[in-house]
Amino acid sequence: MPIPIKIGAEIDAMRLAGRLASEVLDLLTPLIKPGVTTRQIDQAAHRHMVEVQQTVPATLGYAPPGYPPYPASLCTSVNEVVCHGIPDDRPLRNGDIVNVDVTVIKDGWHGDNSRMYIVGEGSIAARRLSQITYEAMWKGIVKVRPGARLGDIGHAIQTHAEAAGFSVVREFCGHGVGARFHEEPQVLHYGRPGTLDELVPGMIFTIEPMINAGRRDIKEDRRGNRPYDGWTIVTRDRSLSAQWEHSVLVTDGGYEVLTVSAGSPPPPSFAAHGFGTTLVAALPA
């Protein structure tokens, strides 16, 4: 399928959806602490989306082919959970790490992002994994510009993560986003520079690397005798996993990060030249 190209009012609508998605994470940041359940986090997000933003939680009831309807308004992936963790009544514990993944629909357009949170006092190893994953996402973002290739993004992410001794999950990737939750292109978080699709202005896609502290292998979560819920994916070796996600627009001069709000963490120093209210970066002169 062709890669959708957004223009004019479509891009403006995506900017709004992206900001609103990021603002949900701003709201949740002070709530994520020991003793709070991920279901409580989900409920707070749902109320804010529906009652304050007048947005639609994109994950609630989402059922792509082969999956049961997703039962919550966001994903909460704790510790060894790689992605798609379903909120539940287990309280978060001191030292846990959790990825919160939020997608809102505003006027038919999707804003998609996620952040990592350290619950209470995290270990040095957990904090390092989260930091390297954040940097890896940004290593990919700064490669975005007209004429670059998707392989440039994946190579930058893979190189940074593996140099730190971590591994990159291969089975899940970033994706185009717009009027549909998942569009072309697929954005791999590993690969070779100069390969895959060429970037052109108007493309919008997520960059969302999943980085494991141990091996890259993953599996469905089937602990004990409980049936598989159809969504939760964990590291095969039960090592910690981290993920960060932004939605990015290819501009005429470089990139614009769309999922930005007042509480967004600042980019690493190597990307800080592009940091501002709209997180726009231009091509170097």
- pTM to 2 decimals? 0.94
For strands 75-78 and 280-282, give the pairing: unpaired
**Mean pLDDT, all residues of the chain:** 94
Which amino acid does the sequence have at 24?
V
In angstroms, the first-to-last Cα distance of the chain is 34
Residues 113-155 pLDDT 10s: 999 999 999 999 999 999 999 999 999 999 999 999 999 999 9
Domains, the chain, in order of start with CATH, read 8-282 (3.90.230.10)
Angle 40-46-47 from CA coordinates, rounded to 5°: 95
Question: 198: pLDDT confidence band, cut at 50, 70 and 90?
Answer: very high
